[in-house]
Structure 1
Amino acid sequence: MSDSALSIDWIAVDWGSTRLRAWARSRDGGILQRVDSAQGAAGLAPEQFEPALLELVEPWLTPEKRTTVIACGMAGARQGWIETPYSSVPCRPLSVERLVEAPVVDSRLRVLIVPGLSQSRPADVMRGEETQLAGVLAAQPGYGGLVCLPGTHCKWAELQEGRVIAFRTFMTGELYALLSQSSVLRHSLLPDADSSDAWDNNVFVDAARHAFDHPEQVWAELFGLRAQGLLQGQTAANGRACLSGLLIGAELAAARTLWQGRKITLVGNIGLPGLYLEALHALDIEVRALNTQRTTLDGLKQVFDLVVTDNRS
């Protein structure tokens, strides 16, 4: 037991498919410590979740109390720790009544998993993003408009009067990974260990603009990335920039009916979200970006507050 464990009131956890992140929190929401690991939900059997969590947070636990862990993300998936039923939209992003308590052996833990959201028509689901949507509402009370949540599967969600009205998922990130790593394009896009070529942002922006204006042409452009590498010496980095621009531009075109004429909030501003932000700005689309970690933590804090209030009633 560490000295700081005595001042930790609860633990926030974001359990993605590939990463596990945990934050030691005070009752007022302050962050006392942060840890993470590569033990994502996709690589764990149900009985492995508790040991993976304990490996990170055991120094924060004391035998004198049972520490509440609020977890969002893939821990609640069908293949996760314990399946949590979806809440159907339209609904508020978070509901304390639908939290599911995960089975644990260690008596120092109480683990509550946040349910995801579902939509019947068109059929769609999300896990983890609902917590970020709650964080968006915490940062922008009364917000009405679209929220873009980039990731392997990018979500576009409509918020109105504190509720999630509808959402759509685009597999843009996964398509990028499959095309760049598993298709014939990999021969021109995978970085060479000896190469020092750098990503040209102008290539990305030009490709995004082209795909946005002519999304029907994207599928005819893809093999050209291989040909350009063979015939014109296009670098692998610029090939990846072009592929990313084509796919993100096509997504923005496909989502046009969702965001056109509405406010847009983007969760994130670096990495993949940064590319969405760059593409939106290049297309003169007004957008406000929020910090990803802050948004997730604000959402988890809302769950904790609801749990504390519920326990007192």
Structure 2
Amino acid sequence: MVRPDWIAVDWGTTRLRAWAMQGNAAQDSRASDQGMGKLAPDQFEPALLDLVADWLPPAGEKPMPVIACGMVGARTGWVEADYRQVPCTPLDPHRATRPPVKDPRLLVHILPGLCQFDPPDVMRGEETQIAGFLAAHPDFHGTLCLPGTHCKWVGIRAGEVIGFHTFMTGELYALLSGQSVLRLTVGDARPEAAAFDAAVAQALAAPETVALHLFPLRAAALLQGLTPAEGAGRLSGLLIGAEIAAARALWSGRHVAVIGAPELSQLYVRGLTMAGGDAYEQDGAALVLAGLSAAATALEKT
């Protein structure tokens, strides 16, 4: 039977992930589809217990620390956790929010997100990946790119987040490939590399024309036999290429670490390299756990 020291939780919009931790080492992990988007505030505790109840101590013993990040702390989550205004360090676990719980075996801490006012922007969850990255690279000075549904471009200096910008590229891809006429061409196909490269080059050369090249993907499928994989490659290349072009001032002349799921991160590294950037990939899932471990260590010292 696994009996952890504490439980790490990454609770996003669509997924809930938990790790049974002993020190900084994961002894077991579990996941469910009970993301924030499916739950009312009073459903978060039962969803967590469904996943981790057998990791908890017997009644009457010291409650189990649970350190959570992500959309669980959103306004529509379990309870709203504060935003910390940049420039600041990525994490301050002492400002974590404690949601009310019915089960006395739980001691839950929800980590705060980050915000800025000019231009207005917010993040939840990515700050924990950033903390995990900086734990291993404390002297990093440059830009972090965190692709996903919403891609964050984050400036880092002297261990602090100095500013960030969000691009909705992943959500635009999902809407176009799943709900527009392009669903008939792209669907859920994986991007073909050569088509991706060609579309990135096209978007980098003239990002203002990207919208002009979207409907031709459907026409090419009807008239020229464009395959779903080619269509997916061209659509992702156009959107990612336009994002990289718009973000040039954020990455040009800087080291860029791309943090996220491997398949998507590789596309960003490929596009940045084509644009002349200095980019390399980091595993986002591992960095979430590293950031949560850093938060647990800080809380233990208090």
TM-score scaled by structure 1? 0.93
Say whether the 8 Å CA contact 2:63–2:104 is kept in structure 1: yes
The letter of the residue matching 1:240 is: A
Structure 2 residue 109 is the aligned partner of structure 1 residue 117: no
Uncovered stretches (5+) of structure 2, i.e. residues with no partner: none
The equivalent position to 1:168 in structure 2, one of 148, 165, 168, is 165
2:5, 2:25 → 1: CA distance? 10
The alignment partner of 2:29 has SS state of strand
Report what 1:4 is aligned to: 2
Q: Post-superposition shift, 1:268?
A: 3.2
The equivalent position to 1:41 in structure 2, one of 32, 36, 43, is 36
1:307, 1:97 → 2: CA distance? 7
Say whether the 8 Å CA contact 1:203–1:242 is kept in structure 2: yes
Q: Post-superposition shift, 1:186?
A: 1.5
Q: Residue by residue, what CA displacement relative to the aligned partner does 1:265-289 show, whole Å, maximum 9, x if unpaired? A: 1113612222212222333422122
1:213, 1:13 → 2: CA distance? 42
The equivalent position to 2:197 in structure 1, one of 201, 205, 211, is 205
Q: Residue by residue, what CA displacement relative to the aligned partner does 1:98-131 show, whole Å, maximum 9, x if unpaired? A: 1101111111100100010001000000000010
Task: Summarize the alignment of residues 115-264 of structure 1 with structure 2, pairs less than 5 Å apart.
Answer: 115-190=112-187, 199-264=191-256
Report what 2:49 is aligned to: 54
2:148, 2:195 → 1: CA distance? 21
Summarize the Cα distance change of 1:291–1:108 in structure 2 as closer, same or farther, 3 Å threshold: same
Count of residue correspondences? 300
Q: CA RMSD of the aligned region, Å?
A: 1.3
2:215, 2:280 → 1: CA distance? 34
The alignment partner of 1:189 has SS state of coil
Identical-pair percentage: 51
Report what 2:20 is aligned to: 24
The alignment partner of 1:102 has SS state of coil
- Which has the larger displacement, 62-71 or 118-127? 62-71
TM-score scaled by structure 2? 0.96
The letter of the residue matching 2:70 is: G
The alignment partner of 1:250 has SS state of helix
2:261, 2:179 → 1: CA distance? 28
Uncovered stretches (5+) of structure 1, i.e. residues with no partner: 192-196
The letter of the residue matching 2:129 is: Q
The alignment partner of 1:101 has SS state of coil
Say whether the 8 Å CA contact 1:269–1:289 is kept in structure 2: no
